[in-house]
């Protein structure tokens, strides 16, 4: 079946998906969990095929690690399903309840977006998370996972889909695309698909954004910053920086640029460089940064670990054990740098001055603005959303980690008794706008 | 100054605009109101120039009426400014307040979108409304109004901008584009402009949507429906239909298609046709519709007022005294027709059966779903939003009439004391997610 026909069928089923009860949607999550556990041997066997192919194709070990779907990952996804089941229903919430006039009542009520296309990296646990978030939020989801886990995705998708339909959700609540060519077909389905969520490399996400009329939610770059103020606690600064850079280097919320107040540079930079060096993190700094580090630690000792770059070389998302370092005069210079060079993802300030922290958090135009903690906290699970379907650096609709709330919209219901606008325009009747919430 | 340079300056000022206090923003609204009243003679004189040019250019009378800016319109916009001032601050609202762990506190806080480009029709009152909505919501706004009111717009914009800056808002909180060519420049400013809101003809809005990477909010079509159920109150059905079609024919929320339950067609259609004919509304109906009407009223008597069309001829937004009429078997056929042929704007059901109404309102995928009232109520002023910046038929971000809420987004603020993700990943600490709201 072509993606267009599939998407059309999903659009047709989206109204009944939206009307499904939360009990049915929760029953689907339970059924999925049970089906995954019951069929785990078969799932693991399919995953072995993917793992073998990955080794044969000499795929990088860091990537291979993500392909793995074992007992441990199964337990994680089942915990996630259970957590999601416990979250309150995101649908049917009344967010505005207003009498426009006697007997003319307006309600704004949350509802699903409709049909969502999600294109994600080769991670079998991501398939389960995304499908379950879409089910809980009453959306139909067209899923395209990475090709390196095609066998695992196929069995996981079959079990998830069978479970959803078995409890009464519509046939086309979920569909899977398997070939890369189908992505281009999907991009043309603006008549049937309400939202696209692409996850993956910068170039891939930009390709999606530039080649479709469907609204796109997600992020291309993740250039996150930490600013170390001159009033700061050194005992927390270095551990936060090490965590933000090394805890999961390939993550979009890993730090890429450190901005250090010039007043503390002489004392702080050598200690920082030492700590980064112990974690095998390479420093790319402006000349004054590398001069200070080389002066304090000895040029020969840190050869190859420190590189001098220009003032304008701060637009790179390294996704590696490399960090950019630049000095600034004050918090305002840090804010200006971040708003110009950042990607509006997550930026943190390390300071003991709460007022300065508030100023930073107000002025930095990012989805996440942090005080005295690691940028790595920017994540739907850590925020308590159960899971996330992606992280948005856009400002329209949802921002930051996107959970159930970001997968809903609303509609206005107006209940009348024959009212016409003419009566109000002529002054015969008038609006009184009384909020009941 | 080129639009790109202007947009860049606005982006630079957007952080301080976002940080402005509600008192300052409200003071701007008061100052605008005072400046408009104080300079009304000058404004009216400039408007006279536009009116004279419009007459010279033989612009349609309905359009000319909208160009007029007189005492009455001035009173309206000043009332709107006062109403907007009284609305609570849309910024800085805490919509999530959650301890992720002891001493690690997450807050989701509303903030402005940033820089918004609004392209709107030749209506001077629209300029005041849009500028004031953007000011109240802390957004920088780049405004392009219709060229037919260029003189009125110029003076209004100058007074509004001077008033805003006089109370302390940043210089580039507002800017105006005057030439049509500048629209194409604006479409390329995706680096600086966060959102575009185009208002105008279907073709114009589609052109904008198809030619920019900036997110677009608005609507192209407004094909609204009224379904008349077989269980219905005839005394309200006809007045609602007449109001929805004739009260303001050129509005996007005017009804374009009537769906009538087949069981009541024989009795209801002739009465409906009679009422429509008295209001000079032309009926374009399927063969069974025109057969019934012509059979009852006499073909010769209604010649020219009734036209037979095909079953698939229901995708036209007439914006004129013309309405499409089709018969359906039941509410489900009406829902299916609306979801296929509608534009997800506003659709109404006329029925005495509340359960059927709820089913319709659940299943119809539109921004506004109404029971027993006119589609014309779909409007920011009538909803009590003070004013509207446009009506969105998209499902991303804001839906229906867009007021202050639709002009805001949010950011996540995370307050820590040195927390790192590594501590949580290793199990040394764990999240407890306690909501404080």
pLDDT along chain B (437 residues), means of 10: 95 96 98 98 98 92 87 94 95 97 96 97 94 98 94 98 98 94 94 94 90 91 96 97 95 96 98 96 96 90 86 91 97 97 97 98 97 97 90 94 96 97 95 92
Q: Which of A300-309, A319-328, B23-32 has the lowest mean pLDDT?
A: A300-309
- Considering only CB atoms, A215 lies closest to which of B233, B384, B396, namely B396
pLDDT at A220 over 80: yes
From the list A365, A372, A414, which residue is nearest B417 (CB)?
A372
Determine whether the interchain pair B421/A396 forms a contact, defined as Cβ–Cβ distance below 8 Å: no
Q: Please tell me the distance from the alpha carbon of residue A254 to that of residue A240, in angstroms, as a whole number.
A: 11
Does the pLDDT of residue A300 top 90, yes or no?
no
What is the rounded distance in angstroms from the CA atom of residue B327 to the CA atom of residue B228?
A: 10
Query: How far apart (Å, rounded) are the C-alpha atoms in residues A271 and A291?
Result: 14
Alpha carbons A17 and B319: distance in angstroms, whole number: 34
> CB distance A421–B397 less than 8 Å?
no
Exposure class string for A394-430: b at 16+ Cβ within 10 A, else e: bbbbbbbbbbbebbbbbbbbbbbebbbbbbbeeeebe
Taking CA B28 as the corner, what is the angle to CA B26 and CA B33, rounded to the nearest 5 degrees?
Answer: 100
Beta pairing, strands A104-112 & B368-373: unpaired
Q: Are B182 and B1 in contact (CB under 8 A)?
A: no
Q: What is the CA radius of gyration of chain A?
A: 25
Distances (CA, A) of B408 to A96, A231, B27: 16, 33, 20
CA distance B80 to B245: 26
Residue from A339, A420, A432 to probe the interface with B (highest B Cβ count within 10 Å):
A420
Q: How far is CA A432 from CA A99, A364, B186, B371, in A?
A: 7, 40, 39, 19
Do A373 and B417 lie within an 8 Å CB cutoff?
A: yes
| B contact test, residue of A384, A386, A390, A406 with most B CBs within 10 A | A384
**Which of A309-313, A361-365, B280-284 has the lowest average pLDDT?**
A309-313
Residue A259 has pLDDT above 80, yes or no: yes
What average pLDDT does this structure show over A345-363?
98
Q: ipTM for the complex?
A: 0.95
B376 close to B58: Cβ distance less than 8 angstroms = no
> CB distance A400–B412 less than 8 Å?
yes
Subunit contact B365:A15, Cβ cutoff 8 A: yes
Say if residues B209 and B245 touch (Cβ distance below 8 Å). no
Q: How far apart are CA B302 and CA B318, in angstroms?
A: 20
The alpha-carbon gap from A300 to the nearest alpha carbon of chain B, in Å, equals 32
Q: Which residues pair with B144 in a beta bridge?
A: B119, B177
Q: Which of B258, B259, B252 is nearest to B378 (CA)?
A: B252
* Closest residue to B383, CB basis, from A16, A106, A114: A106
Is there a contact between B215 and A215 if contact means CB atoms under 8 Å apart? Answer: yes
User: Per the structure block, which two tokens stand in for A285?
Assistant: 């700094």
Which residues on adjacent β-strands are paired with residue B348?
B226, B370
Q: How far apart are the first and last CA of chain B?
A: 47
Size of interface A-B (CB pairs under 8 A): 229
What average pLDDT does this structure show over A276-282? 96
Q: How far apart are the first and last CA of chain A?
A: 47
Q: Best mutation site among A418, A423, A425, A432 for testing chain B: the one with the most B CBs within 10 Å?
A: A418
Contacts of A58-66 spanning 24+ positions with Cβ under 8 A = A59/A148, A62/A250, A63/A122, A63/A148, A66/A121, A66/A122, A66/A123
Q: Per DSSP, what are the bridge partners of residue B400?
A: B392
Q: Cβ separation of A399 and B410 shorter than 8 Å? A: yes
Residues A413, B113: C-beta atoms closer than 8 Å: no
List CB contacts (< 8 A) between A412 and chain B: 367-369, 378, 383, 399-400
Of A371, A376, A433, the CB nearest to B421: A376
d(Cα A85, Cα A30) in Å, to the nearest integer?
8
Cβ within 8 Å, pair A243-B414: no
Report pTM.
Answer: 0.94
d(CA A241, CA A245): 6
């Amino acid at each position: 079946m072509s993606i267009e026909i599939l998407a059309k069928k999903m659009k047709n089923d989206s109204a009944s998906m939206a009307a499904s009860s939360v009990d049915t949607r929760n029953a689907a999550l339970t059924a999925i969990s049970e089906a995954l556990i019951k069929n785990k041997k078969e799932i693991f066997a399919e995953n072995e095929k993917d793992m073998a192919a990955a080794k044969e194709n000499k795929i990088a070990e860091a990537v291979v690690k993500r392909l793995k779907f074992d007992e441990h990952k199964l337990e994680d996804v089942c915990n996630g399903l259970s957590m999601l089941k416990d979250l309150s229903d995101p649908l049917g919430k009344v967010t505005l309840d207003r009498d426009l006039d006697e007997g003319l009542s307006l309600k704004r009520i949350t509802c699903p977006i409709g049909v969502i296309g999600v294109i994600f990296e080769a991670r079998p646990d991501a398939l389960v998370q995304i499908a379950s978030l879409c089910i809980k939020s009453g959306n139909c989801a067209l899923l395209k996972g990475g090709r390196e886990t095609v066998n695992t995705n196929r069995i996981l998708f079959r079990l998830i889909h069978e479970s959803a339909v078995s409890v009464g959700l519509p046939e086309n609540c979920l569909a899977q695309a398997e070939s890369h060519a189908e992505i281009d077909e999907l991009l043309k389905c603006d008549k049937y698909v309400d939202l696209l969520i692409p996850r993956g490399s910068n170039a891939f996400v930009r390709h999606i954004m530039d080649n479709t009329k469907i609204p796109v939610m997600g992020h291309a770059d993740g250039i996150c910053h930490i600013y170390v103020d001159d009033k700061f606690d050194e005992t927390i600064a270095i551990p936060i920086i090490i965590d933000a850079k090394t805890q999961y280097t390939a993550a979009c919320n890993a730090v890429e640029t450190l901005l250090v107040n010039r007043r503390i540079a002489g004392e702080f930079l050598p200690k920082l460089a030492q700590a980064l060096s112990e974690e095998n993190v390479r420093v790319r700094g402006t000349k004054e940064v590398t001069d200070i580090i080389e002066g304090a630690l000895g040029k020969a000792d840190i050869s190859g670990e420190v590189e001098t770059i220009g003032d304008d070389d701060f637009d790179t998302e390294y996704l590696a054990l490399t960090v950019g370092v630049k000095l600034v005069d004050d918090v305002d210079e840090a804010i200006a740098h971040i708003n110009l060079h950042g990607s509006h993802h997550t930026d943190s300030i390390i300071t003991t001055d709460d007022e300065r922290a508030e100023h930073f958090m107000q002025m930095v135009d990012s989805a996440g603005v942090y005080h005295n903690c690691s940028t790595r906290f920017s994540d739907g699970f850590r925020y308590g959303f159960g899971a996330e379907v992606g992280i948005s650096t856009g400002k329209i609709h949802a921002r930051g980690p996107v959970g159930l709330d970001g997968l809903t919209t609303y509609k206005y219901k107006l209940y009348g008794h024959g009212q016409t606008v003419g009566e109000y325009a002529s002054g015969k009747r008038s609006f009184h706008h009384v909020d009941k919430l």
